Amino acid sequence: MPFKICVVGCGSIAWRGHGPAYRRYAAERTDTELAACVDTDLNKAGAFAKEFGFARTYSRVDEALASERPDVVCLLVPAPHIALLAISILEQGYPLLLEKPPGVSKDEAERIADAAQQPDGSELPNRVAFNRRYMPLVIQARGQLNEWSADGKIHHIAYDISRVGRTDDEDASVTIIHGIDALRELTGSDYREVRMQYKRLPHLGADVTNVALEGEFLSGVTFSLNYYPAAGAVYERAQISGEGVSLRMKLPFWTSHDSPGSLELWSNNECTANWKGEAVAGSDEAYIINGFYEENAGFFDDIRAGRKPVGGIASAIQTVEVAEAVYRRAAQYVGTMNAGIGEKR
């Protein structure tokens, strides 16, 4: 029997990141069937199906699931629509990969996580598509940081997100959530406390806001996270400072001039190792360097092998909670949850 994949949502993120990943996955694992894609705009669904090799198209999710009975559903819709659809798909018993965020509030994220729980106490396979978690460069950095964490050598991590011309109606929390989650991934810890400051830029637009976060993780590592929506360059960069060591990372964000990214290891004021994004990824394809292939392929392979995937909805609840605090323009967040603590992200 073929492994059947059904995609819900055929917008820009599906075209840029996920579609190429599905096409490659099906080419490499020939018992895979790209069964169907769903979009309320059938023209979009048809174009996506033609480009990436899906067999059928639908305008309604319930009709697609009833007809196809897929082995996995990939939910790639905008944030306001994620929770309702994710809960429905999970309650029907389908393993689910869903685009970030898993809901726009802690309450929505928890309800999605609850929907993945089965009456027998098991959990339907699920994964949140925070692609920074699956960037080969981030995985490389995480391996190095695991060694330092065991020795208590990590002191501080700084993460900067810079964009150009982000003066639309999208709130800062929708973008800064990437940094919020990447910091948890890199440190392997949850937030103990976050202090927040905002600088509104009303002359650029009603919701355009610089955001600065700082605080401490449960591990004791301190951090800073800055988001600039209307700067002069597009980039995401992280610098990890430890005892006698530093890591400097340029993430391979799509339109960043840093792409395909790099990672430098420093000691005694000398660069002792330098990894290039395309070399670590084994490819110069953007969807691979940006983590989209691994987040999908790894999830599908886990399902096929009967393994529990990492990176599930429960691991993302605190990320959503902190982003919700930013959305509310809170001045402080204090960790209030245990869900996800200790779970490999």
The answer to whether the beta carbons of residues 154 and 242 sit under 8 Å apart is yes
Does residue 342 have a pLDDT over 80? no
How many H helices and E strands in the chain? Answer: 12, 15
Q: How many CB atoms lie within 10 A of CB 158?
A: 17
Question: Residues near 85 by Cβ (< 8 Å), separated by ≥ 6?
Answer: 8, 61, 75, 77
Does residue 339 have a pLDDT over 50? no
Please give the model's pTM, rounded to 2 decimal places. Answer: 0.94
Q: Give pLDDT tens digits for 152-186.
A: 789 999 999 999 999 887 788 889 999 999 999 99
**Per-residue confidence (pLDDT) for residue 174, from 0 to 100:** 87
d(Cα 158, Cα 44) in Å, to the nearest integer?
A: 40
Q: Give pLDDT tens digits for 58-97.
A: 999 999 999 999 999 999 999 999 999 999 999 999 999 9
| Beta bridge partner(s), residue 209 | 200
Domains of the chain, start order: 3-131 (3.40.50.720), 132-291+310-334 (3.30.360.10)
- Owner of token pair 């033609």: 50
Q: Give pLDDT tens digits for 234-265.
A: 999 999 999 999 999 999 988 898 999 999 99
Strand (E) or helix (H) holding 114: helix 106-115
**Per-residue confidence (pLDDT) for residue 337, from 0 to 100:** 53
| Beta bridge partner(s), residue 263 | 249, 275
Q: Give pLDDT tens digits for 14-66.
A: 999 999 999 999 999 999 999 999 999 999 999 999 999 999 999 999 999 99
Q: Give pLDDT tens digits for 293-317.
A: 999 999 999 999 999 999 999 999 9
Mean pLDDT score, 266-283: 96
Q: Where are the beta strands (DSSP E) in the chain?
A: 3-8, 32-38, 56-58, 72-75, 96-99, 126-129, 154-162, 191-200, 209-217, 222-228, 235-242, 245-250, 262-267, 270-276, 332-334
